[in-house]
Each structure stands twice: as structure tokens, then as C-alpha cells.
Amino acid sequence: MNFETSVLHKKNKTERTIISKVTPIYQTSAFAFNDLDELEGFYQGNGNYLYSRVGNPNTDELGELIARLEGAPAGAAASSGLSAILAGVLAVVKSGDHIVAADDLYGGSFHLIKEELTQLGIEVTVVSFSDAAQVEGAIQENTKLIYSESITNPLLRVENLEEVVRLAQKHHLVSLIDNTFATPYHCQPYLKGIDLVVHSATKYIGGHSDITAGVLAGDEELVGKARGKIVNLGANLSPFEAWLTCRGAKTLALRMKQQSANANRVAGALKQNKEVKKVYYPYQHGEEGFGAIVTIELTDSADVNEFFKGLGWIKIVPTLAGVETSVSHPLITSHRALPPEACRELGITKQVVRISIGIEHADDIIAQLNEAINRSLG
């Protein structure tokens, strides 16, 4: 072989089988075959891999992991939470169909269905899911999908999943639940009868604020269709990000246990602070804490800008779910695009602050938040 060739090839193509303790990163765009029979075998479904947009061991590992945690037969990974939602929705609806969705969906999801899907000829009605009669009233002849979140952002309304399942079954709809805030550690919608569960794995599943990823879980048929959309839309997750997400997910139980217990303590402590008008935290759903987001409304005498300046080591970050505590201001970030009346109706005012509780010592988190509140009083 000449130099130019040997820099790329070795004479003998066969490689040793190396069994590594953790899954290696299959950082490859495509896979090689020994002969045409093997290639034909791929198309017969022998479980081999062909091309990373179509399938990759790292992305499959993530899909299988979330399916296992959700108690569902199948799972699939996508390039972001939003692309997982898009794939899940398009697995069910086409032009001319109708979706009934909760009016307090995550902002990005709201835009996806209200703007992009509407342009594709898909009808969308958003209603308050606090009132089952309103939800049922929004169902039309062409409704195919009912879509909400297990815990909503930022006011942490806990969805009545039994009611969503009941309506879906009664009207022959597919139910879709975004389980990002609760995670399968706290809530497993599929086991309660929800058809399709989606996650922004960017949040708790990854857990370390270093990837953007999404996952879906459900039965083989529905997830198969969603996987087809991911492939055709080119919404696949990269092998490295899938690998990092799987690595982060190993500590999901430990993180959720600690972060939820911390959140429970922080919510309790902030209730004692007279400058906190309201504490939003889903207490009733678990003594050791239910999720790791605490949202507060400061009194009108508090200067919110000063509160943010007084946060010390707590970062101001317009996302959530990392191991570090962080704080965001929903009105000017996640809910910025919502009309002011809609924000007012939902209770998202200038005084509302969302706190994503981390794994630090609860005493330190409480002390720093109280210090910021003190500063906000001038």
C-alpha cells in the first residue's frame, strides 16, 4: 500500500471484539457490512445498523432506557425535546386533523403547534385543562390528539392524567403527555394509560445542562411511526449527545431524590418569608417532594431586579433541571412571546420567579434565596 492508502486502510479488515464496560460512542455516520447477505439482513430487520440518521446504537440505548423507565414497550431519541414532540404529534395527525392542547404548555411547544403546525393545515385549540368540561367541549369531529404536560411551567399545575385518559378513550383520541418536569422517577404516564410520553431530555434526564436532546416512549406502533418521522425529518440525535444523555441519566434517581427533597424544604422555608406572597409547589403529591421546581410570587414591595442582583452564587439561567440551583424570570424569558393578557390570566406577573433546585445543601439554597429577598426590599 502507498502512504495515501495506508493512512486510511489496513490490509486485514477484521477487528478484535473489545468488550468495554460502558457503551462506546459510535461516532460514525454509517456502518460497514461484511457481505451482501449481511446488508440484505439489515433490511430484513436483523437489528444491525446502516446509517446514523436511521439508527445508531447510542441513540437506541437512550430510547430503550427511557422506555424502560416509563414502563413502555418502545422508545426513541430525537435531537431535542421539541423535535421529539414534533415527531410524536406528526405520528398521529396530518393536515385537516385537530389537536386539543393545554393553554399552559411550555412556550416552545406552544409555538410549534400554534404556528408551525397550523401552517401545515393542522387545527389546534388550546384550552385550560383545569376544567375537564372545557377540554371535552373543545373536542371536534376531526380531533385526533389530546396534549398536555404532567407538571406545567412555571406554576406547576399537576395534570389530572386519569381525566386525560378518560377523555381520550371516550373520544378515540391519542393522548400525549410531556413528562419533562416530573420525570419517570415521579410519574409514569404510560402506566396510567397515556399513549405517548415525551421528554426534553435536555432537562432532568440529561441533568447536567450540557446537551440538547428529546425522547419519546409508548407502544411499538406509535413510537415506530414517530421514529419514522425523526428519520425523514432529519431530527436524529447525535451519537455523542445520546451517549452523554445516557451517562447523565444513570444518576436520575439520585438527583431527583435529592433535588425534590431540597425543593420541598425550600418551598417550606419560603412560605415562612413574609415577602413571598405565594409559593407554587405540588406538595400534595409526595411527602419527600414532587419535582424540583419551586415557583414564587414576591410581594409588590419587592424589587424583582434587586432580587436577581442579590442571588450570589445562584446563576440566572433561562432553563432548568441542572444539578446546580438556578433561577429564571418567566415573564421576560419562557413566556415572553405570550400576549400580556394571557400571562395575566395564567398568573405569570413580573413578581413571579421560577427556581430550579439543585443538589447543593438545602440550608445554603434557602439562605441565599432569603438574602436575595432581603435585598429586594431595598
The answer to whether 250 is a known catalytic residue is: no
Beta-carbon contacts of 353 under 8 Å, excluding residues fewer than 6 positions away, are 295, 296, 297, 298, 304, 307, 327, 328, 329
- Measured from the CB of residue 202, what is the shortest distance to ligand PLP in angstroms? 4
Find the shortest distance in angstroms from Cβ 61 to ligand PLP: 18
Which of these is catalytic: 157, 203, 227, 354? 203
Q: Give the residue at shortest CB distance from ligand PLP.
A: 81
Q: Cα separation of 53 and 31, whole Å?
A: 11
In the annotation, is 166 catalytic?
no
Q: Annotated catalytic, 106?
A: yes
Within its chain, how far is the Cα of 148 from the centroid?
Answer: 12
Contact call for residues 266 and 215 (beta carbons, < 8 A): no
Shortest Å, Cβ 334 to ligand PLP = 8
Catalytic residue among 26, 60, 103, 106: 106
CB of 297 to ligand PLP, least distance (A): 20
CB 105 within 8 A of CB 78: no
Name the residue nearer to ligand PLP (CB basis): 87 or 359.
87
Catalytic residue among 60, 103, 104, 178: 178
Nearer to ligand PLP, 214 or 358 (CB): 214
Phi and psi at residue 94, to the nearest 5°? -135, 175
Report helix, strand or coil for 74: strand
**Residue whose CB is less far from ligand PLP, 180 or 209:** 180
Q: How far apart are CA 240 and CA 135, in angstroms?
A: 41
Indicate which residue of 53, 192, 257, 375 is catalytic. Answer: 53
Binding site for ligand PLP (CB under 6 A): 80-82, 106, 108-109, 149, 153, 178, 180-181, 200, 202-203, 212, 214
Give the angle subtended at the CA of 33 by the CAs of 32 and 39, to the nearest 5°: 120
Name which of 203 and 335 has its Cβ closer to ligand PLP. Answer: 203
Q: Cell numbers at residue 222, please?
A: 406509535
- C-alpha 281/C-alpha 348 separation (Å) is 15
Q: Is 185 a catalytic residue?
A: no
Contact yes or no for 349/315 (Cβ under 8 A): no
C-alpha–C-alpha distance, residues 125 and 102, integer Å: 8
The nearer residue to ligand PLP, 145 or 302, going by C-beta atoms, is: 145
Shortest Å, Cβ 108 to ligand PLP: 5
Residues involved in catalysis: 53, 106, 178, 203
